[in-house]
Structure 1
Amino acid sequence: MCGRLSLFAPQDELKDRFDATPVREIRPRYNVAPGQAHPVVRNDAPEEISFPTWGLVPQWADEFGGGHINARAETLSDKPSFRDAYRERRCLVLADGFYDWKKTPTGKQPYRMTRTDGKPFAMAGLWEPWQNGEHKTSFTVVTTEPNDVVGEIHHRMPVILAPEEETTWLDGDEDELRSVLNPFPARRMRSYPVSTKVNNPANDSPDVVEEVVADEDAQTGLGDFA
C-alpha cells in the first residue's frame, strides 16, 4: 500500500534527474494525498513532467473520481481496470518519500520511508485518460511485497525503480516489465516515525516530514486504503 507521498526536491534537480521539463511549476509537497495532482513522467511523453490526478479512473467510468490509488504488481495483466494501462500507459511517479501507518494496540503510528541517501526516486505507475465533456488523466502506484524495512510497517510497498530500470518500465516488453516489479533493496531504504499531522491532507508543511518519537498509543481517523 502507498497512501501518501512527498516530493520537495528542488525543481531543477528533478529536471536533471529525470531529463524532463515540467509542464508547470513543481512546488514542494510534504503530504500528497489521493485525489490530488502529482508529477509523473509518462511513456508517451518522456521529455515532460505532467500532473495527473492520483487515483486511476478507468476510461469507461461514468464519473472522474474515487479511482484506484494502488495496483498490485501480481495482477496487472489480469485485472480489467489495469490491463490495458499496463500494456500501453505506464509512467514514473516522482517522489522522495512515502508514508504508511503501523498498527498499534490503540491506533496507528505514521512512518515515512525514503532512500537512505534522501534522493528523489521513481515509482512504477500506470496512467489513464478520461473524457466525458472534459479531458482528464489519472494515475496509480504499482505495489509489491515489502522489503524488510517496509515490512515492519505494512505488508505492501510501492515498486521503487532503480534509475537503470526506469526506461525499461516506460518502454520494455512484457518480460522486461515483470523483471523490474520487485521490492527495492532494504539496505538502501530507511523508515522513521512522523507525527499524526500527516493524517490530515490539509497539513502540507515541512514539519510533516520531521522525525518524532514513535507514539504506540497514537490515535487516527485515517481509514485503510484499498
Structure 2
Amino acid sequence: MCGRFSVNKEQVEDWVTDHWDISFSCESNKDLRPTQQVSTLIKVNDNLSQLNTQWGIKPSWYEWRNEGGKRKLKYVFHASSNQVLLMAGIWYETESVPQLVTLTTRPNSRCGECHKRMPVLIDANNMDYWFNSDVEQLQPLLEPIASDLVTVALEN
C-alpha cells in the first residue's frame, strides 16, 4: 500500500503553520520511499510536535496498476482541493529511527479503480478529534473518505 509518496516542502510547512502554532520543517521529495525519513506530526503529552520518521504528511501518493503481463502504470493520488493529505498512522520507537505505519482501509470508488485498499485519510476538520480522542472513539474516522475528495491521474 502506498509504495511511494510525494512531499512538497512549502505546501506541508505552510499547512502545518496555518493549522497549528508550531515550528515544522521538512524536505521536498517527489519520490519518497518507505526506507527514507520524513517529518511527521505527532502528539505527546497533550502537545503536537514534529518527529522525523519513515513516512509522514503527504500531498500525494503513488500506486501501480497491473495492465496485464509485466506492464504496470503509475498513478498519482492527491487531494482534489490541492491541500495536503493527512494520513492516519501509528508511530513507534526503534533502536535506529522512529517508524510510522500508515493505516489503510477499503478503497472509495475512485481509489478502488487502481488498488484494493487506500490510506486512512483524516479531514483537516477532524484533526483535533483524531489527536484528542480515545482510540475507541476513532472508528468513524477509519472509513474511506468520499471519492470526490481524491483526484487520481496517470503519472508520466
**TM > 0.5 between the two?**
yes
Q: Please, which of 53, 74, 78 is the counterpart of residue 114 of structure 1? A: 78
Please give the alpha-carbon distance, in whole angstroms, between the structure 2 residues aligned to 1:113 and 1:104.
18
Aligned residue identity for 1:161: I
Distance 1:164 1:15, change over 3 A: closer
Distance 1:182 1:6, change over 3 A: same
Deviations 1:154-179 (A, max 9, x none): 00000110112222222211332111
Please give the alpha-carbon distance, in whole angstroms, between the structure 2 residues aligned to 1:138 and 1:17.
26
Give RMSD over aligned pairs: 1.8
Residue identity over aligned pairs, in percent, reads 21
Deviation of residue 48 (structure 1)?
A: 2.3
Deviation of residue 49 (structure 1)?
A: 2.1
For the pair 1:100 / 2:63, whether they are aligned, the reply is yes
Q: Please, which of 143, 150, 154 is the counterpart of residue 189 of structure 1? A: 150
Distance 1:120 1:17, change over 3 A: farther
**Gap regions ≥5 residues in structure 2:** none
Counterpart contact for 1:2–1:143, Cα < 8 Å? no
Write the mapping of 1:21-170 to structure 2, written as runs, cut at 5 A.
21-22=23-24, 25-44=25-44, 46-54=47-55, 93-106=56-69, 107-131=71-95, 136-170=97-131
Distance 1:17 1:122, change over 3 A: farther
TM-score, normalised to structure 2, is 0.88
Distance 1:12 1:2, change over 3 A: closer
Q: How many pairs are equivalent?
A: 152
Counterpart contact for 1:40–1:51, Cα < 8 Å? yes
Distance 1:9 1:136, change over 3 A: closer
Aligned residue identity for 1:13: D
SS in 2 for 1:161: coil
Please give the alpha-carbon distance, in whole angstroms, between the structure 1 residues aligned to 2:18 and 2:52.
17
**Gap regions ≥5 residues in structure 1:** 55-92, 196-226
Please give the alpha-carbon distance, in whole angstroms, between the structure 1 residues aligned to 2:107 and 2:63.
12
